[in-house]
Structure 1
Amino acid sequence: MSTNRAVAYKGPGKVEVVDIDYPTFELKDGPGVHPDNVGRPLPHAAILKVVTTNICGSDQHMVRGRTTAPEGLVLGHEITGEVVETGPGVEFIQVGDLCSVPFNISCGRCVNCKKGRTEICLNVNPDRPGSAYGYVDMGGWVGGQAEYVLVPYADWNLLRFPDKDQAMDKIMDLTMLSDIFPTGYHGAVTAGVGPGSSVYIAGAGPVGLAAAVGAQLLGAAVVIVADLNAERLKAAEAFGCETVDVSAQDPREGIAKILGVEEVDCGVDAVGFEARGHGHDAKEAPATVLNSLMNVTKAGGSLGIPGLYVTGDPGGIDDAAKEGSLSLRLGLGWAKSLSFTTGQCPVMRYHRPLMEAILHDKVHIADAVNAAAISLDVAPEGYANFDSGVAKKFVLDPHGLTGKVQSVSA
C-alpha cells in the first residue's frame, strides 16, 4: 500500500502537512464527512497521483478561521493528476490518463447535472446541493492537496488531456482549469461581457485576474481591475488591463478617468465576503464590493459574482455578517434593473473550450496570475505568503513532476 501525505487545516491560521490514508473506493469517516456519506461505495471512482494542486483564496477563508471548517480537514479542490487506479464501474477513463478535476463534485445523473448545473448536484452532498473536495459543508470529500486523491464518478468528472507530453509542457496553465480559470471566465460570462464591452472587476487576486483574462477572450474593449493592493494591480496591468487603486480613488472617479464616463457595461465581484471598504487603511466592510458594483454598472447591466459568500462566518464583523447577511443597496440594484448571478462556477460548462484555448496558445493564464510551483512540504509557508497579499498563485507539486519547483520567496 502506498503512503499519502496531505495539507490539513489545524485551526485558525495554521495548516500542516500530515500523513493520511491512501484512497480506497469507499468514503470513510473523517473531519467534515457527513454521517450519511460514511461508508458510501465508490465503484465509479478513480485514484489519481496528484501532479499539481493549487492553493485557492477559498482555502484561505477556511485557514483564517472565517468558516465553520473542522480541524483536521484535508484541503484542496484545485487538482490535476494522473490516473493510477480505477474502480470496477469506470468504463472510459484509463490508468495513465492525465486529467483535470473540476472542483465541483457531480454525479452526472441528477436533474441538475443533466441541465448542466454541476455546481448544484443533488446526489453528492447530503447537506445541500453542490459539493467540492476538501471544503467546509461540502459532504466531506477528501481534499486534493495531497500525493493521491480519489475522484468519484470519474468517467463524468475527469477532463482527459489529449496528449500527455503536450499537457506537461503546459501544465502550469492547465492546472488552472480545475477552478480559477473557469470561475473567472464564468464571472465575465454571467456579467454579460462581449465584444466592445467595458467591464469593472473588483479584486486583483487570482480569480479577478482570471476574470480579466476571460473578459479579454470574450472581446471586451476595456477591462478595468480594481484592488487595494498595488502589487496585484501591477499584475493586471502586465497583460493589458486598466486599473483603479481603490485605496486612493473612488471607483466612479477612476472609471471616469479611463472611459470618460463613470459607469461600465458589466461588473464582476472577485472579492467575496471578506471585502474591505475603499480608501486608505480601509477596514472590513463585506457589502462594499457588491454595493459599489451596483453603483458603477450601467442600468440594465449584469453582475457576475464568483467571489465567495458563506452562510456561517465566525469572524464576521457583526451578528448579521456571521450568518451571511449583508447590508446591500438592493433598492439601487432594482432601480437600475441589474441582474445578478451568484454561486459556484459549473466548471464542466467551460473547462473543455478553455483547455483548447490553452493548448492552441490563445491564452497564457499561468503568466497572468503569476503561477509559482512549490513543493508540498512548504505548503504552510505558501499559505502564509499568499495570505500576506503577494501577487502569486501557488501551485503545489507533490511529486516534483512539473520541473518548475522553486522556493516560496522566489
Structure 2
Amino acid sequence: MPRNRAVIYEGPGKVEVEEVSYPEFELKDGPGVNPANVGRKLPHAAILKAVATNICGSDQHMVRGRTTAPHGLALGHEITGEVVETGPDVEFIKVGDLVSVPFNISCGRCRNCKEGKTGICENVNPDRPGSAYGYVDMGGWVGGQADYVLVPYADWNLLKFPDKDRAMEKILDLAMLSDIFPTGYHGCVSAGVGPGSTVYIAGAGPVGLAAAASANLLGAAVVIVGDLNKERLDQAHSFGCETVNVAAGEPKDQIEQILGVPEVDCAVDAVGFEARGHGRESEEEHPATVLNTLMGVTRAGGALGIPGLYVTGDPGAREEAARHGSLSIQLGLGWAKSLSFVTGQCPVMRYNRQLMTAILYDRVQIAKAVNATPIPLDDAPRGYHEFDEGAARKYVLDPHGMLASAS
C-alpha cells in the first residue's frame, strides 16, 4: 500500500507530520473515535489521494488547546482529492475523478439530509447531529491533512469537477469549496446580503475574507470588514472592501464615518468564541464581544449570519461560564430590534456546486481574495505557527506536489 502521512495534534501548540495507516473501508479505533463508530463498515466510501488539504481556523482552535480534542487526532476537514479506490457500494463516483469534499459528513438518508441540512446529519456521529473530518467530538472520522483519506457515502458527499484538466487550472480556487467559500457565502446569505446591501463582516481571517468576496458576488453596495490585524485588513482592502480596525475603538463609530450612519443592513460573525474586546480592551478575550457588537450595528429587522465557531467546551476560557459555552449575550437588544440569527455549520452541499460554476466561469477569484498559499505537507507545523501568529494567508497543504505542478 502507498505510504500515508498525516498532520497529528500532539497537544497545545504542537502538531507533527507522522506516518499513519492507509485508509480501509472500516472505521478503526483511534484518538477521538466514538466507541459506537468503531468497526463501522464503509462499503459506500471512497479513498482519495489528497490534492489539496487546507489549514482552517477551526483546526487552530484545537491546536491552541481551546477544545477537548485528544492528543493523537489526525487533523483536517478541507479536502480536495483524486479518487484512487471505491467501495463495492459506490455506483457513480469513479477512480480518477477529481472531487471536492464537503467538510460536513452526511449520510444522505436521514431527515435532516433530505431537508438539505447536511451540517446536522443524524447518522454519522453517535453523540449528536453533525460531523466533520478530523475534528473534536465529531464522531472520530479521520482527518484529511494527509496523503490519503477515506470519505464515506461517496456518491452523496463528493462533488465531481466536470472537466479534470480545466479544474486543475483553477485548483487553488476550487480547493476553497470544501469549507471556507461556502461558509462565508452561507454567512452572507443567512444575513440577507443582496444587491445594494451594506454589510459589516467581523473578522478578516480566511472565512471573513471569503464572506467579503461572497458579499461582493451577491451584489452588496458596501462591504466593511473589521479586525485587529492590519495585514489582514490590507488583504480585505485589496479587493475593494472598506476596513475597520477595532483596536482603534468601537466599530459603530468607524462605520458611521464610512456610511454616514452607524448601522448596516446585514452583519456576519466570522470570528467566533476567541473574540477579543475593542479599543483599550483589544488585548483581552471577550467571547461575546462580536455577537453583541453585531446586534448593535445591524439595523432593526436585520439579520446576523454566524458562521464563526462557538463551542460547548472551552478549557482555555477566562470565565467559568464560558468554559461551558455560556456567554454574556445581550439577547434583549437583539429581541428589541427584531433581529434574526442563523448559527451552526454551513451546509456545504447547499452551495458548493453553484460556487464551483462561479469559479470555473471567472465570476470570482476566491484564492486571491483569501491569499491562498500552497505549502508542502511536511511544512504543516510552520503553516500552523504562522497562521496562529496572524499571517494574512490561507495555507493549503500540497501532499503530492500537484498544486505546484498545476501552477
Q: How does 1:98-137 map to 2 (within 5 A)?
A: 98-137=98-137
Percent identity for Structure 1 against Structure 2: 77
CA contact (8 A) 2:169 2:406 kept: no
Distance 1:405 1:278, change over 3 A: farther
1:205 partnered with 2:205: yes
- 1:352 aligns with 353
- Report the alpha carbon displacement of residue 405 of structure 1 after superposing the two structures with TM: 9.9
- 2:253 aligns with 253
- 1:8 aligns with 8
Q: Look up the SS of the partner of 1:322 in the other structure.
A: helix
1:388 partnered with 2:389: yes
- 1:57 aligns with 57
- 1:196 aligns with 196
Q: Look up the SS of the partner of 1:47 in the other structure.
A: strand
Q: Look up the SS of the partner of 2:74 in the other structure.
A: coil
- Report the alpha carbon displacement of residue 2 of structure 1 after superposing the two structures with TM: 1.6
- 1:22 aligns with 22
Output the CA distance in 1 between the equivalents of 2:362 and 2:219.
17
Q: How does 1:72-111 map to 2 (within 5 A)?
A: 72-111=72-111
Output the CA distance in 2 between the equivalents of 1:405 and 1:282.
41
Distance 1:404 1:248, change over 3 A: farther
**TM-score of the two chains, using structure 2 as the length reference:** 0.99
- Report the alpha carbon displacement of residue 404 of structure 1 after superposing the two structures with TM: 6.3
- 1:183 aligns with 183
Output the CA distance in 1 between the equivalents of 2:404 and 2:267.
38
- Report the alpha carbon displacement of residue 249 of structure 1 after superposing the two structures with TM: 2.9
After superposition, give the CA deviation of every residue in 1:197-232 in whole Å (9 maximum; x if it has no partner): 001000000000000011111111000000011000
Q: Look up the SS of the partner of 1:366 in the other structure.
A: helix
- 1:283 aligns with 284
CA contact (8 A) 1:102 1:348 kept: yes
After superposition, give the CA deviation of every residue in 1:115-170 in whole Å (9 maximum; x if it has no partner): 00000000000000000000000000000000000000000000000111111110
Distance 1:164 1:278, change over 3 A: same
Output the CA distance in 1 between the equivalents of 2:10 and 2:147.
19
- Report the alpha carbon displacement of residue 112 of structure 1 after superposing the two structures with TM: 0.3
Output the CA distance in 1 between the equivalents of 2:358 and 2:342.
25
Q: Look up the SS of the partner of 1:32 in the other structure.
A: coil
Output the CA distance in 2 between the equivalents of 1:404 and 1:204.
29
- Report the alpha carbon displacement of residue 278 of structure 1 after superposing the two structures with TM: 0.4
- 1:233 aligns with 233
Q: Look up the SS of the partner of 1:81 in the other structure.
A: strand
Q: Look up the SS of the partner of 2:346 in the other structure.
A: coil
- 1:168 aligns with 168
Output the CA distance in 2 between the equivalents of 1:369 and 1:296.
25
CA contact (8 A) 2:176 2:366 kept: yes
- Report the alpha carbon displacement of residue 282 of structure 1 after superposing the two structures with TM: 2.7
Output the CA distance in 1 between the equivalents of 2:43 and 2:405.
35
Q: Look up the SS of the partner of 2:243 in the other structure.
A: strand
Q: How does 1:305-324 map to 2 (within 5 A)?
A: 305-324=306-325
**TM-score of the two chains, using structure 1 as the length reference:** 0.98
Output the CA distance in 2 between the equivalents of 1:92 and 1:301.
42
Q: Look up the SS of the partner of 1:212 in the other structure.
A: helix
Q: Which residue identity does 2:193 align to in structure 1?
A: V
Output the CA distance in 1 between the equivalents of 2:401 and 2:152.
25
CA contact (8 A) 1:5 1:146 kept: yes
Structure 1 stretches of at least 4 aligned residues deviating more than 3 Å after TM superposition: none
- Report the alpha carbon displacement of residue 403 of structure 1 after superposing the two structures with TM: 1.4
- 2:158 aligns with 158
- 2:341 aligns with 340
Q: Which residue identity does 1:63 align to in structure 2?
A: V
Output the CA distance in 2 between the equivalents of 1:161 and 1:114.
23
CA contact (8 A) 1:372 1:405 kept: no
Q: Which residue identity does 1:271 align to in structure 2?
A: V
Gaps (5+ residues) in structure 1?
none
Output the CA distance in 2 between the equivalents of 1:247 and 1:30.
42
- Report the alpha carbon displacement of residue 362 of structure 1 after superposing the two structures with TM: 0.4
- Report the alpha carbon displacement of residue 250 of structure 1 after superposing the two structures with TM: 1.7
- 1:45 aligns with 45
Q: Which residue identity does 2:341 align to in structure 1?
A: F
Name the Cα RMSD after superposition.
1.0
After superposition, give the CA deviation of every residue in 1:221-269 in whole Å (9 maximum; x if it has no partner): 0000000110000000000001111101321111111100000000100
Mean CA deviation greater in 396-405 or 268-277: 396-405
Gaps (5+ residues) in structure 2?
none
Q: Which residue identity does 1:391 align to in structure 2?
A: A
- 1:363 aligns with 364
- Report the alpha carbon displacement of residue 360 of structure 1 after superposing the two structures with TM: 0.3
Q: Which residue identity does 2:92 align to in structure 1?
A: F
- Report the alpha carbon displacement of residue 367 of structure 1 after superposing the two structures with TM: 0.3
Count of residues paired in the alignment: 406
1:399 partnered with 2:400: yes
CA contact (8 A) 2:247 2:278 kept: yes
